[in-house]
Amino acid sequence: MMDVSRRNFVRKAAVATTVLGTVSIMGSGNRRASADNRPQTAVVGAGEQRQDMENAPEIRVKLEGRSDPLVARAFAILKDRIQQRCPARVVEVTTDAQIILTVSPGLPSESYRIDQDGGAVRIGGASGRGLIYGVGKFLRTSRYDGTFRPSPWRGTSVPQCSLRGMYFATHFHNWYHEAPEAEITRYVEDIALWGVNAIKITFPFINLQDWNDPETDQAVAMVRKYARITKDLGLLFGIGLNNTLFTGAPEDIRAVPLPDPTHRRGNSGNPICPGKPAGHAYIMGNIRQLFERVQDIGLDFVMTWPYDEGGCACETCRPWGCNGFVKLSRDITRLGREYFPELKSIMSTWMFDTPPEGEWKGLSEALKKSTEYVDYILADSHEDFPRYPLEVGVPGNLPLLNFPEISMWGNAPWGGVGAHPLPARFQHLWDQVKHVVAGGFPYSEGIYEDMNKAVVVQFYWDRDQSAHTTLAEYIAYEFGPEGTKDVLSIIDVLETTAGCFYQKKPVNADAVRHASELANAVQEALPVWARQNWRWEILYLRTVLDRERFVGEGLETATAEAAMLRLIKIYHCQLETDDPYHHRVRPPLRSAVSRHGEY
Ligand SMILES: [Zn+2]
């Protein structure tokens, strides 16, 4: 009943191909690529395929609980993603529906259920948010091979971890910093479909002089924008805070630099000593002003962070992680609850006991007295997970979150050569903690590690779902199921190659060449909607750039430069920049300029 006629699709697909033309850089013999001239579909995309939709078959959807804005939003997302992938008109009806969207409060928290209701498929969520997760599962397990084939998946799915976050590092003019609001909104929808329920960003005190800095209002506007986008989707929103404030802070309240003999903690920013009364007042006064600027939108959580940007080693504050930091986190949370009474507090322990200072033990002692101002403990490191919470226990017996770094490992500039999938790495890291964590916040610098996001968020949803299973579902949904096996092979080569490169081991040139050939073959068979998808593009471009740098003549060939230029467009990078850190997130194109140097 829901099938769109095959003949009809074939005719329409031919029209679409003619309109869009062929994809220049993708042709195997096309060395002199002109990726720059391609339609800029990037993250918004999809509009081009919607011509001639008037005659497409209807898919009839009934909305129960229409007054809930998230039910309407779930419908809008469903409609958009189906119409992007095949000729169909997804319409709202009140009778004779083929799909029913509903909220079923009897279901377990945040869960969804997909079942049969007569001739219709019913997608029910425990809440609006649960409904969006159910729509995500339905979309990923439906098929779009010219005909919309609704998902055969039936059952109830309940998330196992309660806080399934994502940390967007909104800085350095990376994608999160630069993308238009429509792209960001669509992207947050996409990761919500995978099960994310919380977004965290940071207010960039580190880059700003004071409240009068001309860029401060923009930074406040950015926080408000992300808060609005996130909360409109029914997700939780929060920010990170610590003792790093404006660059214009008075000198006499600055922190004493941290001992950092292993050079792992970082010492950037302008940390203030909260042990000095004037320093404490300065920190609280400025954080209060920030809370006032977002009070009307609301914060659901704050995350306090000990190091990297932050810390103080003075007599009063040390050892920072179990002394000055604990007091400051308490005071920030207490202040926050004046504005947001339900505010949750996540205390990070990142780089605790590096070097050993008894921070974990000290935090355990401190939280024995009270956990009133801490709701979660977050832990992670640059490599393997810290042993203390696994072997001794989580301070305060609080829920434990992880913080997988999904963006930077083996990959500089970050995303500079395209997609950066690392499923085996994250499977390995997850297996260390999956029995104890209640969720987490992967650290993200951009969209090039979109696959890593899906993998980690699905770990949070179902602790035992393998990275491989998630990627197979991802590939079938984003690129069509036919190429799943080949794309998984490509991803395996990309990850192995990145690991060898990072560890300065020889790269397997034959495997790199084979992955590139495989990508060309997959691409030839892709439907137009998938070929146009930026997710495919960045994966494909990675195979091109790996081939150029490991078996070709390097990243200065015309092919490599065209590929990087296309990535620069997808990421909204600046070809000329005044941002001294932008080179960290920009593909390493020879002609790109950093006017303030590269630090
Ligand atoms: Zn201090």
pLDDT tens-digit map of 541-595: 999 999 999 999 999 999 999 999 999 999 999 999 988 889 999 999 999 999 9
CA distance 408 to 167: 14
Residue 100's identity, in one-letter code, is I
| Shared-domain flag, residues 40 and 90 | yes
| Shared-domain flag, residues 224 and 107 | no
Task: Report yes or no: 425 and 411 within 8 Å, Cβ to Cβ.
Answer: no
pLDDT recorded at residue 598: 64
* Ligand 1 centroid – CA 421 distance (Å): 41
Here the CATH number for the domain that contains residue 10 is 3.30.379.10
Residues whose Cβ atom is located within 5 A of ion ligand 1: 273, 275, 312, 314, 317
Residue 189 lies in a domain: no
| Shared-domain flag, residues 139 and 216 | no
* Ligand 1 centroid – CA 14 distance (Å): 68
Residue 395's identity, in one-letter code, is P
Task: Report yes or no: 551 and 559 within 8 Å, Cβ to Cβ.
Answer: no
* Ligand 1 centroid – CA 286 distance (Å): 18
Which of 141, 157, 173 is a domain's end point?
157
Residue 126 lies in a domain: yes
* Ligand 1 centroid – CA 480 distance (Å): 56
| Shared-domain flag, residues 55 and 123 | yes
pLDDT recorded at residue 597: 72
The secondary element (H helix, E strand) that includes residue 457 is: helix 450-461
Q: pLDDT tens-digit profile of 333-385?
A: 999 999 999 999 999 999 999 888 899 999 999 999 999 999 999 999 877 78
Residue 167 lies in a domain: no
| Shared-domain flag, residues 147 and 207 | no
| Shared-domain flag, residues 201 and 133 | no
Q: What is the pTM of this model?
A: 0.90
pLDDT recorded at residue 52: 61
* Ligand 1 centroid – CA 261 distance (Å): 19
CA distance 566 to 587: 10
Q: How many domains does the chain have?
A: 3
Residue 554 lies in a domain: yes
| Shared-domain flag, residues 306 and 204 | yes
CA distance 457 to 53: 34
* Ligand 1 centroid – CA 276 distance (Å): 7
* Ligand 1 centroid – CA 471 distance (Å): 46
Residue 177 lies in a domain: no
* Ligand 1 centroid – CA 442 distance (Å): 30
* Ligand 1 centroid – CA 281 distance (Å): 13
DSSP state of 213: S
Q: What is the domain extent for residue 247?
A: 197-403
| Shared-domain flag, residues 225 and 361 | yes
- Cα distances from 232 to residues 32, 81, 131, 176, 344, in angstroms, run 44, 19, 14, 18, 19
Residue 435 lies in a domain: no
DSSP state of 397: G
Residue 448 lies in a domain: no
CA distance 320 to 265: 12
| Shared-domain flag, residues 137 and 211 | no
* Ligand 1 centroid – CA 285 distance (Å): 17
The contacts of residue 29 (CB under 8 Å, 6+ apart) are none
| Shared-domain flag, residues 210 and 333 | yes
* Ligand 1 centroid – CA 273 distance (Å): 4
Which of 109, 142, 157 is a domain's end point?
157
* Ligand 1 centroid – CA 256 distance (Å): 6
pLDDT recorded at residue 17: 31
Torsion angle, CA of 429/430/431/437, rounded to 10 degrees?
A: 130
For the chain, list residues with pLDDT below 50.
1-51
Nearest to 328 by CA among 560, 342, 314, 341: 314
| Shared-domain flag, residues 212 and 305 | yes
pLDDT recorded at residue 2: 39
Residue 451 lies in a domain: no
Which of 94, 128, 157 is a domain's end point?
157
* Ligand 1 centroid – CA 374 distance (Å): 21
* Ligand 1 centroid – CA 293 distance (Å): 27
Residue found under tokens 């990087």: 564
Nearest to 159 by CA among 182, 188, 186, 129: 129
Q: Which two tokens stand for residue 427?
A: 């499977």
- SS3 state of residue 571: helix
Here the CATH number for the domain that contains residue 292 is 3.20.20.70
pLDDT recorded at residue 265: 78
DSSP state of 530: H
Residue found under tokens 């630069």: 178
| Shared-domain flag, residues 203 and 152 | no
* Ligand 1 centroid – CA 244 distance (Å): 12
Cis peptide before 257 (omega within 30 of 0): no
Q: Which residues pair with 344 in a beta bridge?
A: 301
pLDDT recorded at residue 13: 35
Q: What is the 3-state secondary structure (H, E, C) of 49-80?
A: HHCCHHHCCEEEEEECCCCCHHHHHHHHHHHH
- SS3 state of residue 101: strand
CA distance 495 to 245: 38
